[in-house]
A = this chain, B = another copy of it.
Amino acid sequence: MSQSEPETPKKKVSFRGRSNVPVAASNAEGEDSPEFEPFGLMPRGPPPLAEFLDIWDVNMLAQPNEINKREHHTSLYSSPLLIVRRAQEFQIRITFNRAYDPSKDQFLLEFVIGSSPQTSKGTYIPVFPDPDRMGLWRGRVLDSIDNMVTVGITAAPDSIVGKFRTYVAVLTPYGIRRTRREVKHDVYVLFNPWASDDAVFLKDETERKEYILEESGVVYHGEAGDVSARPWNFGQFEYGVLDACLYVMDQAQMPITNRGDPIKVARKASAAINSRDDDGVLVGNWSGDYTYGVAPTSWTSSVEILLTYATSKRPVCYAQCWVYAAVFNTFLRCLGIPARVVTNFYSAHDNDGNLKTDIIVDEDGRVDRARTKDSIWNYHCWNECYMTRPDLPPGFGGWQAVDATPQETSDGLYRCGPASVRAIKHGQICFPFDAPFIFAEVNSDVIFYKRDKSGNMQAVKVNTSHVGRMVLTKTIGGEHPFDITSQYKFPEGTEEERTVSKKAEEYGLGRQKVDYPETDVQVDILVQEVSVGDDFQLTLEFKNHSRDHRSINAFINGYVVYYTGVTSDEIKYKTLKVTLDPLQTERVTVDVRSKDYMSKLVEQCNLHFIVTGRVEEGDQIVSAMRVITLHVPKLFIKVMGEPRVSEETLVSVEFTNPFQFSLDNVYLRMDGPGLMSPKIKHFSLISPNSSVTWPDSFTPRRPGPTKLMVTLDCVALRQVYSQVLLNVKP
């Protein structure tokens, strides 16, 4: 909701006449229920209540080792309050002033969320411990010993997810007496992937462990042929994170009644994780200037971001796609929706409504930079979440793509999904939400146009396999990438791929239909791994597939690019003339020197090389593209001894500046789930070839396997990180 819109100042007035009550859209708000609610007139004041049940104590059984959190897989949450999942029984123990007598005593539990609670909206839920009085939630007396009654309660499988206020109430002939509102009686109800009638049910226990309970993960980035894995602390169980996630929905004014539907929750969050439109969590910034915030490459954890947002109540600066995806992942796992981060390598962008990215070359075959305006992101991260899709025909449940990065053109608004991954694979892009946009991200063609002097353009070459080269997510239980490309599309050249293409075209997402000139000459760019500061060689391999001679006039252009594919500076331009005998293969090497690019590098150190050329015989265009992500120097982390719960452990982080120039204003961040809150260390200067050491310590909070991760960030050098796996002893 925009703060500046003219309607806002009048909001308190203007719902009058339009609806009976404002829509409840805040979990944080809500009135306390009265302690006595009379049934009718009481001419001489409240009656004697002594003969009726009196409530002495309500025990939510909320300790991490007690039955509720153990059985509901919520023991990891750092919260003193009860946290349970839908469609699964939890227990509350009530102590009365005397033994409960079902034949004459009547009591109930009331669960209330938001303002203006209503039974029919699922925001006021009375639960009678009586199988004959079934409401939305089931209740039964589990045992009754002396004055103590243990009640079993099962929230409906489609219950609203959020924080409910709990009351115990006794019915008397004069009215209802209920407990006073106490914060410690509040209960969080979450989605339940363990329950078969919950929309987010996930059958496999190892998958539930990974996609709900796993607190750390990796985000893949870099280049399709040279993938890097950046560690991330999702921290969905850290103190305050669950409340922050509820605050995200409150801030986005999401109606309480919609919060039981994982489709709506995921869709709303895809808008609310970014700050556009609604003052959501993260401000995007791709400019390279992060002066008044944290550089996107510097973060290690969603925890710091979500807690800062919930505390400051202002969007947090800054994010790029993996930060959005990582925070979104925390949000989803925290609320109990199975989720994972995925990375699409060579992700087409700005292609709403068509399936092509244009590269324009002049009559000589050289790239016309001024007219080539589309970009392909080297990689783009989004999320998948797991749920049924009752709003769609059968077959489209399962993993759903959602994207919180504010790209330009998702239905004109800054949100995206959920789109059924299976629907994308099968070209069934007519179903909500935003399937055409994601379909284009993995399926666009790269089309080379030749532009003559008079401005006439002709499509001369198409590359159908560049975009959506590979989609990766983390392996369950491991650190290795799991290739899920085949979940997004059928293999290139298969019958199924053609069928899908036709289907997408029926829905208006057509490929460019052109008869491209036949080509019999091929060029590829070969390169080894390169570190920042290295001189290196590119090898261009020209292959003549024909039985004739071929002469090629080729150009190689090298640019420094952002990871979004946007060009910064040119670093290389060279013309080549290659002649090939029939069926000959010829290799040409091109030297790239450190001094060519070092002063021009932008964050993430990507170089983009394009070879284009014209074959003299016939009207052929040859082309090849390659992104090279230069490797950055490493950080070294040394942990002294074996970490144990509640024992201080020493750690040191070392870094050597390998460059011929100084690094200024260097920030290091250290983080680890269950180990520490993020720590920050600042070095104002690291001189050329000199080393710095950051000695520090941490005190683990709980046993088991975890990670310690460190990032280094400064203007001249970003995306430097390292991690060590630790197993904390009890």
**Interfacial residues, chain A to chain B (CB-CB below 8 A):** 1-7, 10, 13-21, 23, 39, 106, 108, 110, 116, 118-120, 124, 126, 128, 133, 135, 171, 176, 252, 254-255, 257-258, 261, 264, 267-268, 271, 275-279, 283-289, 314-315, 317, 349-350, 352-353, 356, 358, 360, 371-375, 390-393, 408-409, 411-413, 429-433, 436, 447, 449, 451, 453-457, 506-508, 562, 564, 566-568, 602
Contact = CB atoms under 8 A, between A and B. Distances in A.
Contacts of A4: 2-4, 279
A255 B351 CA distance: 12
A287 B507 contact: no
B20 A375 contact: yes
A413 B411 contact: no
Contacts of A124: 455
A317 B6 contact: yes
B283 A119 contact: no
A164 to B, nearest CB: 16
Given A261-B353, A268-B412, A390-B508, 13 more contacts: A2-B277, A6-B315, A19-B375, A116-B373, A119-B449, A120-B358, A120-B449, A120-B457, A257-B352, A257-B353, A258-B353, A391-B429, A391-B507
Nearest to A360: B120
A171 B252 CA distance: 56
Given A6-B283, A18-B564, A562-B18, A23 B119 contact: no
A409 B261 CA distance: 14
Q: In the complex, which of the residues A119, A411, A455 has the most CB atoms of chain B within 10 Å of its own CB atom?
A: A455
B566 A374 contact: no
Contact of A409 (B13, B14, B258): B258
Given A17-B602, A176-B455, A373-B21, A408 B7 contact: no
Contacts of A14: 284-287
Given A108-B454, A120-B449, A350 B19 contact: yes
Contacts of A564: 17-19
Given A284-B14, A287-B13, A412-B264, A390 B507 contact: yes
Closest 4 CB pairs of A and B: A2-B2, A17-B286, A18-B286, A390-B508
Nearest to A432: B432
Contacts of A413: 413
Contact of A267 (B7, B10, B412): B412
B5 A277 contact: yes
A277 B7 CA distance: 10
B449 A289 contact: no
A17 B171 CA distance: 65
A257 to B, nearest CB: 7
A268 B373 CA distance: 25
B277 A277 contact: yes
B16 A286 contact: yes
A142 to B, nearest CB: 22
A283 B360 CA distance: 45
Given A6-B283, A120-B457, A374 B508 contact: no
A267 to B, nearest CB: 7
A289 B454 contact: no
A279 B453 contact: no
A288 B16 contact: yes
Contacts of A350: 19, 23
A408 B353 contact: no
Contacts of A279: 2, 4-6
Contact of A19 (B13, B126, B408, B454): B408
Given A288-B16, A564-B19, A275 B7 contact: yes
A567 B283 CA distance: 42
A19 B412 contact: no
A16 B566 contact: yes
B17 A255 contact: no
Given A10-B285, A431-B430, A456-B133, A20 B353 contact: no
Given A261-B353, A352-B258, A430-B393, A271 B412 contact: yes
